[in-house]
Amino acid sequence: MEYFGRYGGFNEGDPSSPYRLSDTQNRFTVIGCSALALISDYDGTGYQGLGVATCRNLSDLVNGSCSGMGCSQTTIPKRMYYYDTTFSASVNTSQIWEFNRCSYAVLMEAAAFKFSTTYVNTNKFNDTYNGRVPMILEWAIRDVKSCDAAKQNTTGTYACLSANSKCVDSTNDQGYTCNCTNGYAGNPYLLDGCKGVTMGLFGLMVIVMITIFWGQMILQKRKLNKVKQEYFRKHGGVLLFDKMKSEKGLAFNVFSEAELIHATDNFDSSRIIGKGGHGTVYKGIIKNMSVAIKRCAVVDERQKKEFGQEMLILSQINHKNVVKLLGCCLEVEVPILVYEFVLNGTLFELIHGKNQASQISFNTLLRIAHEAAEGLSFLHLYASPPIIHGDVKSSNILLDDNYMAKVSDFGASILVPSDKEQFVTMVQGTCGYLDPEYMQTCQLTDKSDVYSFGVILLEILTGQLPLKLEGSEKQRSLSLIFLSAMKENNLEAVLVNHVKGQESMELLRGLADLAKKCLDMCGDNRPSMKEVADELNRLRKLSLHPWVQLGVETEVENLLGGDTTGGYEIELSGYPMGESENQPINPRSSYYAR
């Protein structure tokens, strides 16, 4: 017969208690290397079970494994409300006592136990749980056998009082418990204790969904902002901002992408007012003011870095013959520029539009050309290196409500690289206006603009498009036609009908000579834009005062008060007025086509 020494247990329980030791969640756990433990029901009259844990040495043990080596777990039967444990004292411990001084046997919650080899050779097990292990008890109303019996009980002790509650039979010993039915929560043992949670649950779901939605939005926005900031930095926006801070009063705006999207109806195609090599121009409205918003074509990396810098230079340009740059947006992949809106069309439309050429006086065209030349000259002389337009053409000469010329579309053209190694790889400009030298050298210079401007002068003289799509190769290019006519001393052959005979040949020849100089194959031989502007100014005076002969303009200028810059007189409806006289010259009589 073996002797079991009494060790411990759970002996508060008695048969009338509503609690039972959970058979599903507890395990009789024995730790040791020569441990034989007995678990018994009340007074040893009921159930008796054994737990055995053995080992030879510590190396037999595995962390987390409790299946006999140093540790064992056994289940207990249902309906236990009490237990006792004792160890067998007859086990020979002589082989293991040196490393395993203590054995343990306890009924505990299985989920709360994880075997560690240190439980065998140290006090760690006791320390981990502070001498008290968790155990699961199952409660139920035990005075009747089951739900059915409880419901039939006429004495009225059925406990599931609440509407929307249901009775559940106990799974461990007799008895029952109550639960609220699906969609309800609360205390099922009270009248009206179960309350509907459907609404609450629905509300909760809505809140959760809104939270998720907002979270996503914020995340997206953060991501977008990061991208925007990246673009902003790439495009030199930081530099621009620094400069703007140091130069207060700079009338330049950095617009957000959202502002520009709002201003253009999300860049709606109906808002497009122009397309060019440099990008697309939209009409937009910002703060009740019409603006032209230009979305640049893709720019290369080198340009990107200098973009902010360029914007700063361009933004400071303030000339009445240059379209004002109001601001830019750098937080997008390709920068967007915002210009003042100039509403009266372009020089191109004036020359080539239907019924236009015959109505616009030659004088007005000459004035517009002079103003445009002043604007371009200003760009060239404004900064060093010069700001080169790069796409001078009649459709880039805009006209305001007084038909005053404004050079547009200069912003996306690049500053001339000061480093001569940096060649522009992208061909820019418009066919028919392209500097032949630039085509060969790929180096855009201020003289490239002069060449293109020469083509504009030809358009004014001839009323022809710079490039015709029909005809032989030589007949296609207006500049070639013109140059060969000049060679044959046959200028009249190319002049537009309504100027022939109307204007003095001196004037026309002067203009043709200027155009010819501009169109010189060699850029160095071409006049500067300033010289072109001065010559146009001289020719204008000649046209306004036909009695003045070429060659005596100096006297005339003195006579007129030495105004050599020109283009500053107030003009109404596009008709020129005398510069010193108050008497307007009526252009209808002298310049209108008949």
Ligand X SMILES: *[C@@H]1O[C@H](CO)[C@@H](O)[C@H](O)[C@H]1NC(C)=O
Residues that constitute the known binding site? 294
Residue with tokens 């070639």, as numbered in its chain = 480
In whole angstroms, how close is the CB of 33 to ligand X at the nearest point?
Answer: 14
Q: Which of 74, 118, 121, 253 binds ligand X (CB under 6 A)?
A: 118
DSSP annotation of 181: P
Smallest Cα–Cα separation from 291: which of 271, 320, 305?
A: 271
Catalytic residue list contains 391: yes
In whole angstroms, how close is the CB of 59 to ligand X at the nearest point?
Answer: 8
In whole angstroms, how close is the CB of 186 to ligand X at the nearest point?
Answer: 43
Q: Which of 100, 117, 346, 363 binds ligand X (CB under 6 A)?
A: 117
Could you tell me which stretch among 114-122, 175-183, 326-334, 431-439 binds ligand X (CB under 6 A)? 114-122
DSSP assignment string, 108-139: EEGGG----THHHHSSHHHHHHTT-----EEE
CA 176 to chain CA centroid, Å, is 62
Helices (H), 254-317: 257-263, 301-316
In whole angstroms, how close is the CB of 180 to ligand X at the nearest point?
Answer: 43
Largest CA distance in the chain: 149
Q: Which C-beta is closer to ligand X: that of 124 or that of 226?
A: 124
CA 504 to chain CA centroid, Å, is 60
Residues making up the annotated binding site for ATP are 294
Tell me the HSE value of 296 on the side-chain side, using a 13 A CA sphere: 27
In whole angstroms, how close is the CB of 120 to ligand X at the nearest point?
Answer: 10
Could you tell me which stretch among 112-120, 259-267, 381-389, 519-527 binds ligand X (CB under 6 A)? 112-120
User: Measured at CB, which residue is nearest to ligand X?
Assistant: 63
Contact 180, 186 (CB under 8 A): yes
Check binding of 123 to ligand X (CB under 6 A): no
Distance from C-alpha of 136 to C-alpha of 16, rounded to nearest angstrom: 18
Count of all residues that appear for the chain in the document: 594
Q: Which of 17, 63, 358, 586 binds ligand X (CB under 6 A)?
A: 63
Check binding of 253 to ligand X (CB under 6 A): no
Could you tell me which stretch among 115-123, 148-156, 427-435, 532-540 binds ligand X (CB under 6 A)? 115-123
Q: Which C-beta is closer to ligand X: that of 61 or that of 532?
A: 61
Q: How far is CA 41 from CA 6, 13, 84, 387, in A?
A: 13, 10, 7, 101
In whole angstroms, how close is the CB of 67 to ligand X at the nearest point?
Answer: 15
Q: Which C-beta is closer to ligand X: that of 33 or that of 519?
A: 33
Residues contacting residue 431 through CB under 8 Å, at least 6 positions apart? 466, 467
* Residue of 391, 409, 446, 449 marked catalytic: 391
Distance from C-alpha of 301 to C-alpha of 14, rounded to nearest angstrom: 86
CA dihedral 423, 427, 431, 434 (to 10 degrees): -10
Q: Which of 116, 309, 316, 484 binds ligand X (CB under 6 A)?
A: 116
Q: Which C-beta is closer to ligand X: that of 127 or that of 192?
A: 127
Please give the residues from 6 up to 25 whose contact with ligand X meets the rule CB under 6 A. none
Q: Which C-beta is closer to ligand X: that of 11 or that of 63?
A: 63
Smallest Cα–Cα separation from 322: which of 251, 407, 240?
A: 407
**Interacting residues with ligand X (CB under 6 A):** 63, 116-118
Active site residues: 391
